[in-house]
Structure 1
Amino acid sequence: MKVAYRGQLDAIDQWLRDINNKLTMGISPTFLLNDCQKMQTDLREVAEKIKHEYPFYSQTLPGIGDNLFRPDPFNYGLMTLNVAAFGELFIIVQHLVREPVDMRFWQDIHPRIIEVSKELFCDGHFAAASESAIKEVETRMRELFKEGKPNSPTPKDAAGLIGALLSDNGFYQFCDTSEISGANFRKGVKSIFEGVFTAYRNPSMHANLTCSQREAFERIVQASQMMSILTDGEVKT
């Protein structure tokens, strides 16, 4: 799976494999100080980039980098390998190469949101990933409107769709409104939809809209919840 730091991660992985091959052949590698410092810098940079996905690894990698090399007592100016730290690093990097994004996050996301947002998110396009998730919710609302009112023109914007589907008299049923708690839940859901689309689907705001990884995560989770509401209910005919 592609991530923004994939090239850097692959370079570290290849270095580890090369060193592991030498160790397997009984060769004790030595390193120039500059090369050691570069590896330590690369590990710190990767650690920073994975802090949301793998906070434990993010905290651990810089320390492993600091302990990865030690002065060669027989060759002045050269460094040798701390094999214990190397083993720790090898295992962590193998995990990151195979699963650079923590897949547990996506296990609970609605399949339709996964389809439009996951690849963008994993590539580091966080704003596009969250925007695609919200757009997919709007697409689902348009599908429901056409199902319930096939002979009526589809509203041009999300506000019209929300009113037709989710208002007190809306024709999409997703909860029991015979009790006050259900009626309040319906009103609350309608307010959530209105707030999300006002905040994230207003074209006049898009030019200046930025989105961090954490913010994208939150919006994708919100879109997933909204999509579940729109797929678990039924159209009243």
Structure 2
Amino acid sequence: MIEHIEKISDWIEHLIKKHDPDIGNLSIDAKTQKNILYHITCISTNLKKIHPYLSKRLFEIGEKLFYTRQFSNPILPPPQSQFYPYGQIGNYHIPILQSPITIIKESIISINICMFCRLHEIILFLKNNNYEDINWDYIHKSIVDISKQKFLDGHYADAVETAFKYINTYIKDIYLKSNPKNKDLTGAPLMSNIFANEPLKISLEEQDTETGRNIQKGYARIFEGCMLAIRNQTAHDNIVMSKEMAFQKLALASLLVTRLEKAKINIFSPEQ
């Protein structure tokens, strides 16, 4: 979506810089009209779920942004001879045309300046609020709830740290149900204890097949590795993280939370 936002933004800024305040009087070629309406449609479609109001407004703007103006262009006929014959009306001598005037009706595509201003406001809003071409529907709701806004605000490392702290806390709460006094176990050692040490506290797959055991071992290392390479790094170091890298790590956190929800919990409280 960001690509379409940038295309419209560049077009708007160009018109304002070169033609303001005469934008409403410009003639727009059909190719430009088609391209701008295409970008508006793409943005509107992408916003349907995350911002339905703006999606609807953009759709309405797209329908009214351009309109066709018609005007008549008179074409005088060529003279029949070197001199026009003249007639007289009152005290004035006027040429008498030998053939009728041709009226050509032409049309031009113009910009509805009111819709143009509204489009400009929405594009500025989208740029300032970092709306991205990202489908959060594929990210687990728990991660969306705690990390999405931080991500949209540009706090990428903080969004990632929050997600993996959530995973650590989620697993630690399970562990403390049967080990309430061992509150210091956390991070990579906690993951190893939960997923790798026998008897298994959390089973991600049935352990009666080699495939199931391999999946358990693989995810045990992934959970442990995430605590070492991602959670600890973002928590203790001043990390500058790119938007792309942050979202990839949030997707990984989403996968781990999804696996946890489907896992078999083998820990019981001391009373049980």
TM-score (norm 2): 0.55
Larger Rg: 2
Partner of 2:22: 80
Q: CA deviation at 1:95?
A: 6.8
SS at match of 2:224: helix
The CA deviation string for residues 131-163 of structure 1, in whole angstroms up to 9 with x for no partner, is 11111111111111123x245514532122111
Partner of 2:185: 156
SS at match of 1:226: helix
Q: Could you tell me whether the CA contact under 8 Å between 1:64 and 1:89 is conserved in 2?
A: no
- Cα gap change, 1:152/1:206 in structure 2, threshold over 3 Å: closer, same or farther? closer
Count of matched residue pairs = 178
Distance 2:245 2:117 in 1: 30
- Cα gap change, 1:165/1:195 in structure 2, threshold over 3 Å: closer, same or farther? same
Partner of 1:5: none
Which shifted more, 199-208 or 210-219? 199-208
Partner of 2:266: 236
Distance 1:61 1:164 in 2: 53
Partner of 1:212: 242
Q: Could you tell me whether the CA contact under 8 Å between 2:192 and 2:224 is conserved in 1?
A: no
User: Which has the higher relative contact order, 1 or 2, with Cα contacts under 8 A spaced 6 or more apart?
Assistant: 1
Distance 1:206 1:227 in 2: 23
Structure with greater strand share of residues: 2
Q: Could you tell me whether the CA contact under 8 Å between 2:158 and 2:234 is conserved in 1?
A: no
Q: Could you tell me whether the CA contact under 8 Å between 2:188 and 2:225 is conserved in 1?
A: no
Q: Could you tell me whether the CA contact under 8 Å between 1:172 and 1:236 is conserved in 2?
A: yes
Partner of 2:228: 198
The CA deviation string for residues 72-117 of structure 1, in whole angstroms up to 9 with x for no partner, is xxxxxx6411554965774475377478535963222222222221
Which shifted more, 186-195 or 106-115? 106-115
SS at match of 1:176: coil
Q: What is the CA RMSD across the aligned residues, in angstroms?
A: 3.1
Q: Which one of 169, 188, 192 corresponds to residue 139 of structure 1?
A: 169
Partner of 1:94: 122
Distance 1:56 1:143 in 2: 44
Q: Which amino acid aligns with 1:158?
A: G
Distance 1:85 1:216 in 2: 41
Structure 1: where are the runs of 5+ without partners? 1-52, 72-77
Q: CA deviation at 1:60?
A: 4.0
Structure with greater helix share of residues: 1
Partner of 1:45: none
Distance 2:184 2:195 in 1: 14
Percent identity among equivalent residues?
A: 22
Map 1:1-237 → 2, pairs under 5 A? 54-68=2-16, 70-71=18-19, 79-81=21-23, 82=26, 84=111, 87=115, 90-91=118-119, 93-94=121-122, 97=125, 101-102=131-132, 105-147=135-177, 149-151=178-180, 153-167=182-196, 169=198, 170-202=200-232, 206-237=236-267
Q: Which amino acid aligns with 2:10?
A: P
- Cα gap change, 1:164/1:154 in structure 2, threshold over 3 Å: closer, same or farther? farther
SS at match of 2:22: strand
SS at match of 1:153: coil
